Each structure stands twice: as structure tokens, then as C-alpha cells.
Structure 1
């Protein structure tokens, strides 16, 4: 193995173009160690005491890419740039009025200008064709206004701001749901958005029963009333009286969602009732949107604060029969990483005061992992095998429990997050699944952070860390081509080698045959992807961003069954990608197949 931090030109390029600090034409970070020291020093500066000790500990986990904080942290901490260190936000409710819509647009523009991606739930906008209140015209519907957001994003990007990312969600019972489903059939439409349908338990039940499904919208008091039902609508934690505008077959609507994602990769699906039922802050939040990649469901004006443990750096005796993971060292790294991410709240700017208030009330963080597939290969374990599921779950369980214990210790030292209320918090479904000592510790001391775990896509920071496999994704290929954006904004294609493969070649020579543990993403059955995600989800209090890749010739009924399996196995969301002529492509395998991650190169989370 190389002694230097970078073992490939692309990793050095990513650092130089995305994370290296320059000011007024002067290069401040002379090497990546300077970047690590800058970040460690800035975040340790938030400590009340022992700043030098914490700076050294933060540096040690950043060193050699053992811990990868979100890209905004790497790029912004310790600089003079007035930017947010939070990667993504969910914005406020889009009020169903022209003033409210353009106020929400302005807030999104200000957030994106500082480098934050944004998520919106457009379910609060009345459907197309319905009378607009008090102005004698008819509404044009949510999708028409989403096009304004898309143009805004493109305009913000043209100013040189960081590449933008947006998520749009719509309820499965909104009358414009079919328009939303078809919105990205045109290759040029809404290119700066990811789309997801908010799917309820009632809808899934109606799909399986073959029942009719009412499409509804809340009554405002001035409509003629026909059939009325109650729904807990977006923006309200209490049931509201909603007018039934029409009915469709639930199976037919589900089929349209599935056909759209089969044909052009969107929309994704968020099982929103499960998200809210499992939310640690169920007693004071209602969630109807996520950050752009879906791993952090958030309330209005919530923010995501992400980081990942790079498992490849904890493999002892790689490619040997007695190789293993240093779990104790992982646990220790998690404890320090929780503190580092918690300090981001005290260092970062926020584009809006509402975001600062909401984010600091919960201090939620999303600590996850990356390099899982490479670590499995280095341990001789084939991704998709029962052994791989067991090890993945074991590692994520350790990360989760270590993070909660660290947050209890921080609460004892610095105080619990402001929205903490012991009795309702401890009654939460996820919290009740934790070990007894953690539950007792929370009752005695509180918790510094309302949420602690999430698994994000780590496309760019995984490239920075010498191209380790991203998040919990399998290895795409040993060698492949990827589009990369340069400092001038232009795209170029670069050849990449997977980290584990490179390490094996260095250890055993270029001509050595790869062991059976080396397996490509397209060799793994979709069911195995789902089982891996489900194994880790039980120890993730937020959510997981994962893309299940299937070949172009994959059967439609089998494709549809993946989503139904995801629902049955307790996942909070699902994204399946099938190569198609509408969606752009990021990675090219040697054999010519393609993979699209849940975010394109235009909309990566890091």
C-alpha cells in the first residue's frame, strides 16, 4: 500500500477542485494534511476546554480518510467563506398562494447560493384546474411551479455556486399525482430535481386489495362540498377534512409509478408513514420531505449534518484468511466523529434564521459508513451472501450503539438537545429497540443529538478517499469510466480503479487472479440489495440512500416486485435504476453497461 494519502490522480484532483482552500488567488491548503488540520482546528475551536486535545483527535480520525465528513464541512470549515457546512435542507411549507410560493422560492435560492441542497413537499399546492382562492382563476398545479424552481436552480448554478440538488415530493393521494409521475418523461424536464412519491400504508393496502383510491385536497372553506374524507395532510399533524376530487384504481396508480421509474428512473418511493412512525421526534415533528438523496427525512427547515466511517481503513490483514475488522477502533472513531459533527452546529452559518432554529433544536446528525463492499472483498466475503448481511448488520449496530453512547456522554457534558422530552422520546419505536443501558442513559442524562445515524451516498468523498466503494453500494466494476466535473465547470471522462482491486494488485501483482469475493454490482440479485439495506436499516434512525441496479432487459413484473419487497422488509424508501434512453449516465463499465446513482454528477450530495 502507498504511504501517501492519495494513490490515484483522480483523488488528488477531487481534493484540489472541491475541498482545497484558496483565498483571493492564494492557495492556503498546500496539501491534504493542511485541509484536515484546518477542519480539525475549526471544529475543535467550538470546545469549551481541551481544544488542543480535541483538535488532535479530530485530525487523527480525518487522517488517511478514516472518517469522511460531509463535503460542505471539508470545503468550508476554517475558511473565511460565509457558507453553510450543512449539505442539505428541507425547506418550509409551500403556502398555497402566489406570495407563499415565491417566498418559498426565494428561501430556496438563498439556501442554494450558500451551497445547500433543498427538499420540498409540493403537496400543499392545490391541483391543476381547481379554483385559486379569491382571484377568479384556476390553479396550474404543483408541477408547473416546480419548473420555476428548476429554472432558479439553473440560474443560481450559472453564478458559479456549487452544483445544486433538489428533492420534490408529492403525496400519493394528491390529485396531480399522475402529472407528477410523468413529469420527467421529457429528458429536458426538471433536471435539477429528484422526485419521490410519498406512499402511505393505506395506499399499499389498497394496492394489494385492488381497491379504489381517492385523490383529495384539503378544504379551505369556500369550495362546494361533495364527498369528504379525513387525511393527515402535509404541513399539519392533525387530520384535515379533504374533498374527494376523483377516484382511481390503486393498482393502476401503483402501476403508473412503477412504469415511470422503470422507463426513466423516477420517481422514487418514500414510505412516509413508516418514516413518521419511526421518527425519534414523532411527538413534535411531522415529516413529508427528505434531503435530495433521501437518507435524511426532515421537518420544515431541518438540516442534515453527515459523515461516514470508511470501513476499508479498519480492515486488519486484508486478503488474508485471518483478516478481520477492528471493531474497537471503529467504535472509538465513532465517538470522536459524533463530537466533531455536533460541533458543526456551533461553527456553521445558516442561510435562514428559521433553519438555525429548527436544526439547533434537534442537533440531529447522520453518521454512517462507506467502503462496505470493498471491506467485504478485503475480508474474503462475497457481497450478497448471508455472511455479508451479518457483518454489515454487526458493523452498523456497533456504529449506532457507539454513537448513542457518545451522544449521552455529550449530553452529560454539554446538555441535551433543546427539543428533548424524556418520556415521549423514550416511547419512540426506534429508541425502544436500543440496549437497556442506552435507554437508561438517555433517561438519566438526555441525548445531545435527536438522531445519530444515516447512510448517505458518498460519491465524491469516496473518490477523494481513493475511490472506495460508496456507502453500502456494491462495487460497480474493477475498472470503469466516470464523468467528472472540473474546476472550469466542464465535464470529462476519467478511468477509475476500485480501491480494493488496486490494493489486491499491489499486494499480489497485476497478473494475480481476483478472488471469488470480488463481485460486481450487476452480478448481485436485486433481492440481495434489499436484504443488505434491510439488515442495516434496523440500526439506522434516519434512512438509507441506495440504488438497486438492474439490466435494461429486466422483467417489469420483477422490477415492480422489488418495491413491494422493500415495503415488506421495513425499508423507508427505495430507488431502482434500469438503464434507459431518458436518464443520463455517470459510470461506464468495461462491458458497456451503465449505472446511475440516486444523484447524477449534477446533483451529488457531497
Structure 2
């Protein structure tokens, strides 16, 4: 029997986590093989691997413990990828050479699959003098544009685009420009952005005081703190960014505040990290630990939780020794402190199973109790590891126990740490779990509420026919299995019906026992007033949160999907540009459905196509590009590409590009992003003028050829209308619902803002990893 409870779970596993040969032949025959591969790999660093391999397998079995995607996909494969999810890079020097050294390090890190964070507060503001060159500084935002362009060219871990976080202090002279930078929809799209909010700034906001913008001791401008706060709030209200990070609170609570200073986080904000800091992630699946669900005796199995947490901590500690690292400085930092980020997923489902309404005071109290139990179990397990393997190298008992977070820890845990030390400096974090929650049977994600009870997913089969799959929330499916057609109780709530301050209450309840931070989105209704919106952020500050991320759907940010209460189904529509078919859709129907493929299509014996000659200026040989097409349900779409040149200097990259693009085409979905990504590549040696247009690189020229072909066959409505190149497209309503942008992985219009990042409910794709 399959271990999967839903077709989408198996498809996610096959697409993202299943170990395969280079030609796509599976090595992991079943998901049990995946669990065995991970268990064997992480047990290999133990003195007695056989003693632990079975224990690790049991933790993974039936999705009880869910290592983060990079561990699940990479452990035991011998691939040159990091198993760490989160990196904050080194401090950016305020010099041209130093800045570009940091850019190189960022590229190397993303190439191996790490999401990165940077604090750009160290770069002098725009207009400041640059000694020795008789020029003015261009400012940190101009260099962020360079980072953004670099990130577009890096495919991390084989399937994910790089994700980045940019932070800037609230007293930097360029903070006002930073706040509104993403009001331009074409700018800094590879970044999540957050303002570092200090305690003195919040005091000035509350008192109505002045606020100085300062760099290197020089005051550039003085303004009212409330005006700057309102500017942050207005941008977030309109564009969903920037987020806010309460940086002083983070440093005060940090267990390691005696030996590090934090100024940035990873892309989703759950890991505040020092320069070259690294962290790995994993989640306890709370939904799998509830006994007698939906009964008067329903409860979380406390003993099972404690045992599972202890095993998970040991596995994650072993990842520190088993993983590769993009940079030596990251490896040294990780081994000196042995940070791990153990969190949870399925919290909302678990609360439903024990009869509690997410967001209520009772649910917050239960969340506090469960998080407390996890923190206790994790810290005591790490103490046991310290007895066996030694404490982390930078451990200092008195300094460690003096930190803000350890002041609230239980007395017996504190004494155990003082006596024996602790193996891992920090242990808990709530990470984004959008993909792994689908893989685990569509449990609720992280500590988020259930987004939708069910929705319909359309899949295109190899013969061109369409099938529908209902994707049901894990707890809802369990209710159906136990109660049949009985209506859902009143305590079933979802993200659309939950009040914003209920979100804050739940985040604050979890934060009390999380020593790092939390990736969470506070969903706000479109019609929330600006004053009520600001109240959400002030409540997060007042209740002890370390940061706050909101999402208010509107015509700029895109709208969340409408949920029918009579029929639990997500409604969505296609965007049809004037005078053409829906941009980049595989197949269209009268309902405007987005249809995507369940698996790569087989190649027919014959295909129709076209060959294009591309002559790059100053190059002796032309490049010939052949694109062949497939007819699917009456519509023509690109299926494969061949790029050839007599110039042997081009041989390696043209072969690589041929294989990569063809593989993307054969997966189906909206593949127009290939055009946009190629056209964004710039050559530092310079581009060329072709047919009256400046083309930044030969790769960009190839992207232009592919775009013209897509337009010619009707796959793309026109130049510049590919995925991610038409950010001002009108939002189209369907039965009262709205849709935003298409998923860059599968093409469906099923994106949701979850845990601070747009996540696709259909394929699990997320920019944030």
C-alpha cells in the first residue's frame, strides 16, 4: 500500500524529493526508500550507525518528522549541494572591491541551494562622497539591483531559484527609498525586504519624537519617527513589503548575544543569523501525533512528542557534520555554534483535531503549552548530546544562561545546561513548510491556519484528457473519514475568515518558546482600514513578536483565491491579454482553467518545428536554434530545443542549455519564464545592438529567438507578455474571486501568501525554498 494519502503528495515527492539518475530513472523506488536514504546518511556520522539508522527511519516514517526539503532531496545522494537552508552572508564592506567580493560569495552559496540574507545598512547612502575618485556614492539600492540581476541567473539546487532577504536599519539615510523600492513591480523581484526596527525607534514612534537618519556619525536628515513608521506601513499596506524585524529584541533574546551580533535574516525571516551564519531546518508534524481526533478524548501524545523531538534533534545535529558548505566561513560558523531550527507543521490541523478554534485564547494557550513541551524536549535532548559528544565550541555557561531567551527557560533545564553544557546553541524555529506540508498529505502549513478546506486541481494526462483531483486539508479529510457527511463544526476556521489580531495572538504564543523566529503571514482583508492595519504591527510589537509580515490582497499584490463555502473549492481565472490566447497557458477552456501536466510527455516520432539563425556581432560563426513543438489538446506548445554552433568555445554551454531548456519544456506548465530569465542575463563584457535594440548578452539573444517562436505558434500572446514580464496585467474576476500571478513552476493560478512567501498550492513551489 502507498504511504501517501493524496495524489498530490506523491507527485510532490516524485517531482522534488525522489532521488533519480540523471536521465530521470528513479533510484528511490518508493518513499520508504527516501526515508531509508536519509536515515542511513544521517546515521553515518554516528559512532554506531546501525544503532541509530532504524531509530531515524522510524521518525521519518509516515511523515512524523519532516526534514526541510534540502535535506530530504540531498541527504545520501552524494550531490554537491548543501543540506542547510539558511545563510546570512558576511558584512558588506563599504568599498567597491568588497561589495563585489560579497556578490561572488552570494552566487556560490545560491548555486549550492542556499537562501541568503544581507544587511545593506553598511553601504554609504546615495550622494555621499567617495574619497579618491571625485564622485558621489550610488547608494545601497543600486547595488541591490546588481544582486537581483545575479540571482536571476542562478538556478539553486537544480530546481529552485535563489531567494534573498535584504535588510536596512531604520536610521539609514536611504531608508525612505528602501521602503518604497518595490513599488516598481519590475525592481528587486528576487528579494524579500525588511526594515530593521530598533527599540529607540519604537519609543520615538509611541512618543511622537524626532528621528535622525545617520551614517558614520553624520546626521543626513531628521524627521518624525511616526512619519517614517507610517511610510513603512503605507508601503506594506499597498505592496506587501517591506516587512519589519524588531532587531534589538532579537539580539537581546539571542542565546549567543555574548559572541555575535545579528543584523539580517534568511529570506523568510525565521532565522536571524550573524555574518556567515547558517542554519538547517526540520519540522515535527503535529497532525500525526493527535490520538482519538475529534472525540472528547482527543489529545496530543506527549510521550511520543518528547521522543520524536529528541530523535529529530540528534538527526539535525548530525546534518552539521554530514553537509557540504558553499564557503569555509559558513562551515566554521556552523560547527562553532551548531545551530538547528526545529519547528512544527500541522499545528492548525492538530488544534482542530482536539476541538479548538485557531486564533482563540484557548488555542493560543494550547499552542503555548505544546511549544513549551517541544522547547523543553529539544533543550534536554541537546544537553544529552553534549554529555555524549561535547558542547558547541563557543559555549560559555554564565553568558549563555544570561541571555533573554534563557531567562524564561525552566529551572531544571537551566541547571542541566550549566552542569553539562549544550550541544546546539539555538534549537527552535518555525520555518516555511508549504511544500513539505503537501508532501505529508496536505497538513496545515507551519503554524498557519488552514488556508482552504479543499480545492480542485486539474491535471492534463498524456492522452490530452483532463482529470480533476480534489485536494483536501488533512484534518478535513480525517473528519470526513470519521464523521462522513456531518457538517464541519463551528471551530473550523480558515485564513480568509480569521481576524488579523487572532493571527498575531497565535504568533506571539508560539514565539515565547521559539529561540530563533517565526515565518508567518498575517492575512488581512482587502478592505481593512489603514489605521486597523497599523494596529496589527503595533500589536505584534506589544505582544513580544520578533517581526511581522502581513498580506493584504489588492490589485497590486494580487488577490488570494476565493473559497466557496458551499463547495469547498478554490476559484480562479486565466489572464487573457487583448487579442490573444491566455499568456503562457498550456490549454484553455471556456472556464479559463489552468491545466498542467502530471508527468513529462513522451516524444512522438515526428514533430513540427522551425530553425532560426542567430548571428552575434563580432562572432565568426552563427548559432542555429531549432525549436520543435507538440500538439496538446489542439494547442501547440514548445517541446524541445537544439542549439548548435561551429564555434567550439560555445560547445559546452550550448549543450547544457539545450538539455536544460528541453527538460523544462517537457515538464509542461507555463514555460514562458524561460524567455524572461534568458533575456535578463547580462554579459559583463558588454552586449550588442541587434535590429535596433540593445541585447545584453548572447543568452538574452537566444531568449529573444525563443520568445518570437512562442509568439508565432500562439503560445505567447506577444513580446514581453511572458511569465514575470507583465507585472501590471489586469486582475480578472471570476464569480466574485480574483487571481494574481501564475506559478513559475507549474503555471497554475493557485498562489497564496503563506509564511511570508508566495507559495503554490498545486505544486508546492515557493521562491523562499
* Residue 529 in structure 1 maps to residue 503 in structure 2: yes
User: Could you say what secondary structure the match of 1:473 adopts?
Assistant: coil
* TM-score, normalised via structure 1 length: 0.92
Structure 1 residue 158 displacement after superposition: 9.1
Provide the rounded CA distance (Å) in 2 between the counterparts of 1:305 and 1:150: 24
What is the aligned counterpart of 1:579 among 533, 538, 553? 553
Q: Where does residue 78 of structure 1 map in the other structure?
A: 76
Provide the rounded CA distance (Å) in 1 between the counterparts of 2:337 and 2:469: 41
Preserved contact between residue 113 and residue 156 of structure 2 (Cα < 8 Å): no
Structure 1 residue 593 displacement after superposition: 6.3
1:358-507 matched pairs, under 5 angstroms:
358-480=333-455, 496-507=471-482
Preserved contact between residue 164 and residue 190 of structure 2 (Cα < 8 Å): yes
Provide the rounded CA distance (Å) in 1 between the counterparts of 2:182 and 2:106: 21
Preserved contact between residue 264 and residue 581 of structure 1 (Cα < 8 Å): no
User: Could you say what secondary structure the match of 2:493 adopts?
Assistant: coil
Gap change, CA 1:533 and 1:600, over 3 Å in 2: same
Provide the rounded CA distance (Å) in 1 between the counterparts of 2:84 and 2:558: 27
Q: Where does residue 753 of structure 2 map in the other structure?
A: 596
Q: Where does residue 252 of structure 2 map in the other structure?
A: 277
Q: Where does residue 556 of structure 1 map in the other structure?
A: 530
Structure 1 residue 582 displacement after superposition: 2.5
User: Could you say what secondary structure the match of 1:183 adopts?
Assistant: helix
Gap change, CA 1:309 and 1:160, over 3 Å in 2: closer
Greater mean alpha carbon deviation, residues 320-329 or residues 444-453: 320-329
Preserved contact between residue 114 and residue 161 of structure 1 (Cα < 8 Å): no
Provide the rounded CA distance (Å) in 1 between the counterparts of 2:135 and 2:457: 48
Q: Where does residue 29 of structure 1 map in the other structure?
A: 28
Provide the rounded CA distance (Å) in 1 between the counterparts of 2:120 and 2:456: 36
1:103-182 matched pairs, under 5 angstroms:
103-157=101-155, 160-182=158-180
Provide the rounded CA distance (Å) in 1 between the counterparts of 2:60 and 2:158: 28
* Residue 518 in structure 1 maps to residue 478 in structure 2: no
Provide the rounded CA distance (Å) in 2 between the counterparts of 1:528 and 1:129: 44
* Residue 43 in structure 1 maps to residue 18 in structure 2: no
User: Could you say what secondary structure the match of 1:27 adopts?
Assistant: coil
Between 1 and 2, higher relative CO (CA 8 Å, sep ≥ 6) is seen in: 1
Gap change, CA 1:440 and 1:112, over 3 Å in 2: same
Q: Where does residue 606 of structure 2 map in the other structure?
A: none
Runs of 4+ in 1 over 6 A off after TM superposition: 481-484
Deviations along 1:2-55, one digit per CA (max 9) or x if unpaired, are: x63212121111111111111232321111110000000000001012x11211
User: Could you say what secondary structure the match of 2:12 adopts?
Assistant: helix
Structure 1 residue 162 displacement after superposition: 2.3
Provide the rounded CA distance (Å) in 2 between the counterparts of 1:391 and 1:212: 41
Deviations along 1:416-447, one digit per CA (max 9) or x if unpaired, are: 00111111111112112111211111111110
Preserved contact between residue 559 and residue 738 of structure 2 (Cα < 8 Å): no
Structure 1 residue 517 displacement after superposition: 2.1
Provide the rounded CA distance (Å) in 2 between the counterparts of 1:141 and 1:34: 51
* Residue 342 in structure 1 maps to residue 341 in structure 2: no
Provide the rounded CA distance (Å) in 1 between the counterparts of 2:431 and 2:562: 22
RMSD: 1.9
Gap change, CA 1:540 and 1:91, over 3 Å in 2: same
Preserved contact between residue 212 and residue 220 of structure 2 (Cα < 8 Å): yes
Preserved contact between residue 216 and residue 244 of structure 1 (Cα < 8 Å): yes
Deviations along 1:50-81, one digit per CA (max 9) or x if unpaired, are: x1121111111110110111111001000021
User: Could you say what secondary structure the match of 1:23 adopts?
Assistant: coil
Greater mean alpha carbon deviation, residues 387-396 or residues 332-341: 387-396
Provide the rounded CA distance (Å) in 2 between the counterparts of 1:216 and 1:265: 26
Deviations along 1:300-320, one digit per CA (max 9) or x if unpaired, are: 001111111101101111111
Structure 1 residue 585 displacement after superposition: 5.9
* Residue 312 in structure 1 maps to residue 266 in structure 2: no
Preserved contact between residue 175 and residue 215 of structure 1 (Cα < 8 Å): yes
Greater mean alpha carbon deviation, residues 105-114 or residues 160-169: 160-169
Deviations along 1:196-226, one digit per CA (max 9) or x if unpaired, are: 00000110111111111100001xxxxxxxx
Preserved contact between residue 481 and residue 588 of structure 1 (Cα < 8 Å): no
User: Could you say what secondary structure the match of 1:184 adopts?
Assistant: helix
* Residue 542 in structure 1 maps to residue 513 in structure 2: no
Provide the rounded CA distance (Å) in 2 between the counterparts of 1:474 and 1:107: 37
Preserved contact between residue 400 and residue 539 of structure 1 (Cα < 8 Å): yes
Where in structure 2 are there 5+ consecutive unaligned residues?
A: 460-467, 564-569, 572-736, 740-751, 760-764
Structure 1 residue 495 displacement after superposition: 5.6
User: Could you say what secondary structure the match of 2:219 adopts?
Assistant: strand
Q: How many equivalent residue pairs?
A: 572
Structure 1 residue 539 displacement after superposition: 0.6
User: Could you say what secondary structure the match of 2:535 adopts?
Assistant: helix
Gap change, CA 1:406 and 1:605, over 3 Å in 2: farther
Deviations along 1:284-310, one digit per CA (max 9) or x if unpaired, are: 100000011001100000111111110
Where in structure 1 are there 5+ consecutive unaligned residues?
A: 219-241, 485-492
Provide the rounded CA distance (Å) in 1 between the counterparts of 2:150 and 2:456: 31
Preserved contact between residue 214 and residue 244 of structure 1 (Cα < 8 Å): yes
Preserved contact between residue 482 and residue 495 of structure 1 (Cα < 8 Å): yes
User: Could you say what secondary structure the match of 2:195 adopts?
Assistant: strand
* TM-score, normalised via structure 2 length: 0.72
User: Could you say what secondary structure the match of 2:136 adopts?
Assistant: coil
* Residue 93 in structure 1 maps to residue 91 in structure 2: yes
Deviations along 1:227-254, one digit per CA (max 9) or x if unpaired, are: xxxxxxxxxxxxxxx1101111111110
Deviations along 1:57-108, one digit per CA (max 9) or x if unpaired, are: 1111110110111111001000021100001200001111111111111100
User: Could you say what secondary structure the match of 1:507 adopts?
Assistant: helix
Q: Where does residue 54 of structure 1 map in the other structure?
A: 52
User: Could you say what secondary structure the match of 1:517 adopts?
Assistant: coil
Preserved contact between residue 444 and residue 473 of structure 2 (Cα < 8 Å): yes
User: Could you say what secondary structure the match of 1:169 adopts?
Assistant: strand
Greater mean alpha carbon deviation, residues 10-19 or residues 275-284: 10-19
User: Could you say what secondary structure the match of 2:165 adopts?
Assistant: strand
Provide the rounded CA distance (Å) in 2 between the counterparts of 1:161 and 1:524: 34
Deviations along 1:482-539, one digit per CA (max 9) or x if unpaired, are: 899xxxxxxxx98632111112112222x32111221111222111111111111111
